Amino acid sequence: MGNTTIQTQSFRAVDTGQSKRYIIPFALLCSLFFLWAVANNLNDILLPQFQQAFTLTNFQAGLIQSAFYFGYFVIPIPAGILMKKLSYKAGIITGLFLYAFGAALFWPAAEVMNYTLFLIGLFIIAAGLGCLETAANPFVTVLGPESGGHFRLNLAQTFNSFGAIIAVVFGQSLILSNVPHQSQDVLDKMTPEQLSTYKHSLVLSVQTPYMIIVAIVLLVALLIMLTKFPALQSDDHSDAQQSSFTASLARLVRIRHWRWAVLAQFCYVGAQTACWSYLIRYAIEEIPGMTPGFAANYLTGTMVCFFIGRFSGTWLISRFAPHKVLAALCPALHDPVSDFSL
């Protein structure tokens, strides 16, 4: 197959000759990467907590991730259309308010102990995160020279990995360890009133963490509203480059590397979510005497490895071509992963 040249429209931040003006906007964008990692990885804490509180099967508990990622599935395209009509900043603020609203629903959901309302809250949170990721990922790449776009994106994603670690420690301390999980033998000896009170206490333990998140998210939204972000201008100012979503998608689908990238991202997110979602539950079932609070340490360990990998990757692509780094890592990691799985 021959190479196909595809016309695309790209944007760059308007260069005023004062690159230091990008520092605060870039820092705020990095905080978004941190915040959406917190929401993503708290799901792995919620799953074992809700599984005992609501007496859920693995399938029913998996609805936490299904509701969450369904929000990611349906929102990015409308978010992209919104940002095209308004601005990246408008998309970010919209995303933060959705994030805060979804997290705020955890309070009434816990009070009435309604699993469906929790799922609705998670969907709304994910809708907000879909807006944030749709805006922030491309925005960080244009805040400076085009040659440094890969480095800036990976640097920002390092904060995402750090947020994942903080989320697990945060959830471990305030959710899993707040109310000790009891064995089935202990639960069987409880009266119906005691069992109901105990399960409700498990659910109520999510209120404080999520209200803290609401406050932080609204604070970041306020800071972004008050911060002047650089305007974006197209590299090509001709009207011919302005195209509809359908035309843009048609151009993208013709790019072979884009199609493979979408497939790779699909497999990566699926593997990551499947492994992390059930890691705590797996440890509890396979290791005698294991508690959810201690099992979360295994999850924290994987997050630390994830952070090290992101940080190392950022350093490597600042010195070597990104595609060469990827080509070297894939075969290097294949054998260790295969051996470990056996």
Predicted confidence (pLDDT) per residue in 65-78, tens digit: 788 888 878 887 78
Q: Are 220 and 28 in contact (CB under 8 A)?
A: yes
Q: Are strands 232-234 and 11-13 parallel, antiparallel or unpaired?
A: antiparallel
Helix (DSSP H) and strand (DSSP E) numbers for the chain = 15, 2
Higher local confidence (pLDDT), 317 or 49 = 49
Is pLDDT above 70 for 122?
yes
Residues 96-104, mean pLDDT to the nearest whole number: 96
Task: Give the integer Cα–Cα distance in Å for 132 and 26.
Answer: 14
Q: Which of 260, 206, 238, 247 is nearest to 64 (CA)?
A: 206
- Could you read off the pLDDT of 123-170 as tens digits, one per residue? 999 999 988 988 888 778 777 666 666 677 778 877 888 888 888 888
Does CATH place domain 19-230+269-341 in 1.20.1250.20? yes
- pLDDT for position 244: 66
User: pLDDT-based confidence at 337, cuts 50/70/90?
Assistant: low
d(CA 118, CA 98): 14
> How much is the pLDDT for 160?
83
- The pLDDT, as a whole number, for residue 239 is 47
Instruction: Give 85 or 130, the one with higher predicted confidence.
Output: 130
pLDDT mean over 282-297: 77
30-59 core/surface letters (b: 16 or more CB in 10 A; e: else): bbbbbbbbbbbbbbbbbbbbbbbbbebeee
Question: How much is the pLDDT for 245?
Answer: 66
Q: Are 290 and 284 in contact (CB under 8 A)?
A: yes
Phi, psi of 78 (to 5 degrees): -60, -35
Convert the pLDDT of each residue in 2-13 to its tens digit.
443 334 445 555
pLDDT of 316 higher than 70 = yes
Please say whether the beta carbons of 79 and 94 come within 8 A. Answer: yes
- pLDDT score of 75: 82
| Cα–Cα distance, 72 to 40 (Å, whole number) | 11
